[in-house]
Amino acid sequence: FADRIRTGGHGGLVSAWVGIPEPMVVHHLTQEDFDAVVLDMQHGMWDMASASNAVAQCRSAGKPAIARIPVGDFASASRLLDAGCTGIIAPMVNSVADAQALVRFTKYPPLGERSWGPTLALNHMKLSGDDYLRTANRLTLTIAMVETRAALDAVDGILGVEGIDGIFVGPSDLSIALSKGEKLAPDTDDIDKELSRIVARCRAHKKFVCAFGSDGKRAGGLLKLGCDLVVASADTTQLRAGAASAIAAARSF
Ligand code: 3PY
Ligand code: MG
């Protein structure tokens, strides 16, 4: 998966996004045609034990698990890679220094200072310690979120940090930042303009770009703007939309 997203030519990847802290939710979503599953540990209520069980569900379904960590919680990033995650998304990476700190916790030397202990990852990947050490920096993805004005200003510097594999754009926070707290408007032309600029900068640095779509149609639009991986709404949204549509169909009888 890591090579696929890095080298492009994948035709656009679509990921699930799960905040309900229940591995069985992840199990059910892996039965659909998602390319990956993001466990949202920033705003979702996952703890480390349930997240590592969710990673196991992804692994047994043959899908990569990517964890979004809480802001600045880089120590958890190492643990989630140890649990077998294929990637880490770090929110609110606003400077080169933030990006360098993230790389220190997610890449082994010489790129970073990730500490050794990937017991579950070795089991999941059926690799020896030596083979994992040799390949982990390439087979795992370190992804910095750009979702503030500071991050927009620093985007070239962040992309220039060796070990940052790609960028994930958070349109909600970005819209709040750009409007100085006036509005939540993630699906507007203003956001698309910034997104197109970020896509161009990622291409220039030969790195990939991901973004969150509030629904499937929006996710398709984000792919059209040049994103490599998009989220097509969160588990909670999908659950409630499915329920609302079933209720409406029953009541229209
Ligand atoms: C944002 O849009 O701000 C995100 O973090 C993704 O939902
Ligand atoms: Mg955000």
Ligand 1 pocket at CB < 6 A: 91, 147, 170-173, 186, 212
Q: How many folded domains does the chain comprise? A: 1
Residue 182 maps to which CATH number?
Answer: 3.20.20.60
- Which ligand is nearest to the Cα of residue 233, counting in written order? 1
Each residue's pLDDT tens digit, 177-207: 999 999 999 999 999 999 999 999 999 999 9
- Closest ligand 1 atom number to CA of residue 186: 2
**Separation in Å, CA 158 to CA 2, 20, 117:** 19, 31, 27
Q: Which of 15, 145, 184, 191 to mutate to test the pocket of ligand 1 (most atoms within 8 A of CB)?
A: 145
Confidence tier at 9 by pLDDT (50, 70, 90): confident
Is 27 one of the annotated active-site residues of the chain? Answer: no
How many other CB atoms sit within 10 Å of the CB of residue 92? Answer: 18
Separation of 91 CA from ligand 2 center, angstroms? 6
Q: Whose CA is nearest to atom 4 of ligand 1?
A: 170
| Beta-bridge mates of residue 68 | 40, 89
Report the alpha-carbon distance of residue 167 to residue 198 in Å, rounded. 9
Amino acid at 125: M
Q: Whose CA is nearest to atom 6 of ligand 1?
A: 170
Each residue's pLDDT tens digit, 37-87: 999 999 999 999 999 999 999 999 999 999 999 999 999 999 999 999 999
Each residue's pLDDT tens digit, 80-132: 999 999 999 999 999 999 999 999 999 999 999 999 999 999 999 999 999 99
Phi, then psi, of 18 in degrees rounded to 5: -125, 120
Q: Please give the residue range of the domain that contains residue 47.
A: 2-251
Cβ density class 217-253: b for 16+ within 10 Å, e for less: ebbebbbebbbbbbbbbbbeebeeeeeeeeeeeeeee
Report the alpha-carbon distance of residue 24 to residue 97 in Å, rounded. 37
Q: Nearest-CA neighbor of 141 among 186, 182, 102, 179?
A: 102
Which whole number is the average pLDDT over 3-31?
96
- Closest ligand 1 atom number to CA of residue 173: 3
